[in-house]
């Protein structure tokens, strides 16, 4: 991973395999990349229920969902929307996953430093 003009290089698009999540750490922020139906999605892999790392949870390529391995909350990776809360509660009982902004530049996935929730710190 390297830094370039307010963006962080994560990997090449060609490095991602359809349906196989890939986790990165950018200055202490976890980023999970997923390629689904040819489109790339980037979310923070932390369950909004209790902070569990859901990058090892069950990913369904068919439905585009990721399930928390601890309390079984389910999130849509395309939008971060919770579809089911912990232990089967309604999805609207908890906040969504953070969705990261990124750009694809010459086949490289570049994570934006400025996100809606704040700024990913950069080395100076």
- pLDDT, position 90: 84
Instruction: Give the model confidence (pLDDT) of 13-30 as tens digits.
Output: 999 999 999 999 998 899
Instruction: Give the model confidence (pLDDT) of 82-92 as tens digits.
Output: 999 888 888 78
Domains of the chain (ranges, CATH numbers): 2-113 (2.102.10.10)
32, pLDDT greater than 80: yes
Q: Considering only CA atoms, which of 34, 59, 41, 54 is closest in space to residue 94?
A: 54
Instruction: Give the model confidence (pLDDT) of 72-81 as tens digits.
Output: 999 999 999 9
What's the rounded Cα separation, in Å, for the pair 27 and 112? 13
- pLDDT, position 88: 80
């Amino acid at each position: 991973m390297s830094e370039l003009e307010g963006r962080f290089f994560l990997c090449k698009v060609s490095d991602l395999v359809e349906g196989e999540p890939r986790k990165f750490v950018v200055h202490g922020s976890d980023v999970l990349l997923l390629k689904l139906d040819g489109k790339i999605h980037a979310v923070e892999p932390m369950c909004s229920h209790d902070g569990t790392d859901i990058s090892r949870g069950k990913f369904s390529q068919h439905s585009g969902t990721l399930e928390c391995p601890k309390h079984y909350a389910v999130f849509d990776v395309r939008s971060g929307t919770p579809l089911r809360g912990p232990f089967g509660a309604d999805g609207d009982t908890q906040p969504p996953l953070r969705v990261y902004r990124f750009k694809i530049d010459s086949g490289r996935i570049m994570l934006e430093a400025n996100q809606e929730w704040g700024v990913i710190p950069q080395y100076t």
